[in-house]
């Protein structure tokens, strides 16, 4: 009986040991920076490429060529171009800030002339050239709160409002040759599309500090822009059409980058470089029932400098 009791105790002891929790890691403390007052100014150069999705032929191609049963679409010239971003912030309290930033993109793209036979009408279309003018302005005003998650990890939560202005103009002079009548008609294509509005915006900046100087970050934000969408087709070939509607456009943006911080005798200088993507969903539409709305995105690398000056 005594042997049985000892065996049960030994088994219980071994089971209890096997079920005991291993080493427990203490979570990082969540803190906020010490009270301070400062302001900053920053500028960035952006090298961006606009892309369209949702209505591929209308926005990305101009005409086509045929070879047997194959069709090759001629891509419009909408290559990379420069833009800039300006920002200013006021820092106060325990990690709070008010930030205003402005992104500006303004460029014209010209595609050389092309001639092709329309597969629909059978007419020959001779384009002299095709010019696209694209304008983008985005202004964000946001309130942010910085929090420290341990020694290396920081998060900045922010909420505010975004104002967006997007305009796309297309002009293309051409002549249309009708093989049935032998008549050539000079005309032109002219479309103007515009969206402007404002709406709430939320986001967060995730930062990991490798050292006191180097850090890597991922920044994410989203907005719902409420505004007026206009489309005006005044091409030389009827029908001429115009449409204006009130729409809610979702916007998403993401950035991945690296910063280097250098302390100066007066303030702090931060060098910043990364890659960004901004997408506006279904922002441009055409009044024709056969044409679907298209998304407009801007993507590309950027680099810039920011100077932070302490007020106290």
What is the distance, to the nearest Å, from the Cα of residue 250 to the centroid of all Cα atoms in its chain? 11
Helix (H) or strand (E) holding 162: strand 153-178
Mark out the alpha helices in 21-147 (DSSP H runs). 56-60
pLDDT above 60 (res 8):
no
Greater confidence (265 vs 18) lies with 265
pLDDT category of residue 49 using cuts at 50, 70 and 90: very high
- Determine the 3-state secondary structure of 144 from DSSP: strand
pTM of the predicted model over 0.85: no
- List, in sequence order, every beta strand (DSSP E) within 118-152: 124-149
Percent of the chain with pLDDT over 70: 80
DSSP state of 27: P
CATH 2.60.40 fits 31-200+213-222+237-271+289-310, yes or no: no
Interval 209-236 mean pLDDT: 93
Greater confidence (294 vs 82) lies with 82
pLDDT above 60 (res 260):
yes
Interval 229-255 mean pLDDT: 86
Measured CA to CA, the distance from residue 239 to residue 81 in angstroms comes to 34
Q: Select the highest-mean-pLDDT range: 64-68, 112-116, 217-221.
A: 217-221
Measured CA to CA, the distance from residue 146 to residue 141 in angstroms comes to 16
Q: Give the pLDDT of residue 5.
A: 47
Work out whether the CA dihedral 194, 198, 201, 205 comes out positive or negative: positive
Torsion angle defined by CA atoms of residues 255, 246, 238 and 295, in that order, rounded to the nearest 10 degrees: 20
pLDDT above 70 (res 67):
no
Q: Specify burial of residue 266 (Cβ count, 10 A radius: 0-12, 13-18, 19+).
A: exposed
Measured CA to CA, the distance from residue 65 to residue 54 in angstroms comes to 22
* Cis-peptide into 101, omega within 30 deg: no
């Amino acid at each position: 009986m005594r042997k049985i009791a000892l065996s049960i105790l030994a088994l219980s002891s071994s089971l209890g040991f096997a079920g005991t929790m291993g080493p427990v890691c203490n979570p990082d403390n969540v803190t906020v920076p010490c009270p301070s007052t400062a302001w900053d100014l920053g500028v960035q150069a952006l090298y961006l490429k606009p892309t369209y999705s949702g209505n591929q032929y209308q926005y990305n191609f101009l005409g086509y060529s045929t070879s047997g049963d194959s069709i090759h679409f001629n891509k419009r010239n909408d290559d990379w171009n420069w833009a800039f971003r300006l920002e200013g912030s006021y820092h106060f309290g325990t990690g709070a800030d008010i930030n205003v930033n402005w992104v500006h993109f303004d460029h014209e793209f010209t595609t050389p002339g092309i001639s092709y036979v329309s597969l629909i009408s059978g007419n020959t279309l001779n384009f002299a050239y095709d010019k696209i003018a694209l304008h983008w302005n985005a202004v964000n005003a946001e309130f942010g709160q910085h929090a420290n998650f341990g020694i290396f990890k920081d998060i900045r939560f922010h909420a505010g409002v975004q104002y967006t202005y997007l305009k796309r103009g297309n002009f293309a002079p051409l002549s249309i040759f009708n093989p049935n009548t032998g008549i050539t008609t000079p005309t032109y294509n002219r479309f103007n599309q515009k969206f402007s509005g404002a709406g709430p915006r939320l986001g967060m900046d995730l930062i990991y500090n490798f050292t006191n100087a180097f850090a890597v970050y991922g920044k994410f934000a989203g907005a719902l822009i409420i505004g007026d969408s206009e489309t005006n087709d005044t091409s030389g070939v009827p029908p001429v059409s115009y449409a204006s509607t009130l729409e809610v456009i979702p916007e998403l943006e993401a950035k991945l980058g690296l910063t280097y911080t250098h302390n100066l005798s007066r303030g702090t200088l931060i060098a910043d470089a990364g890659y960004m993507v901004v997408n506006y969903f279904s922002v441009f539409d055409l009044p024709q029932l056969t044409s679907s709305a298209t998304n407009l995105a801007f993507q590309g690398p950027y680099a810039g400098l920011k100077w932070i000056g302490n007020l106290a």
